[in-house]
Amino acid sequence: MAPAFELAGVEVTVAPDLQRTLEALKKLSTDPKVAIVLLDEALHRALPTETRHRLDRQAQPMVAPFPVPSWDECAAAEEYVLEILRQAIGYRVRPR
């Protein structure tokens, strides 16, 4: 997701694991220029409860978890479309 946000002109800090996320949040929390921090939903859930409560109480930056794309959902959607095609034409189609 980071490259997509960067292409949109958003400054990105990549913190792929819990320890780096905590370090990044500490640094971003003290920066007066930072108003919003978007955080991967899974990393947000992994934060210690005390940290989540502290982040919820502070006015700035606002920390907002967001869901990342799930490629499993894409596969399920593809299967759904293939089943519709099978029913419509009576033949199982394979995607490329």
**What are the pLDDT digits (tens) for 13-28?**
988 888 999 999 999 9
How much is the pTM? 0.65
Asked if residues 55 and 44 have their Cβ atoms less than 8 Å apart, the reply is: no
Q: Assign 48 a pLDDT band (cuts: 50, 70, 90).
A: very high
Query: pLDDT tens, 60-94?
Result: 898 888 887 766 666 666 777 777 777 777 777 67
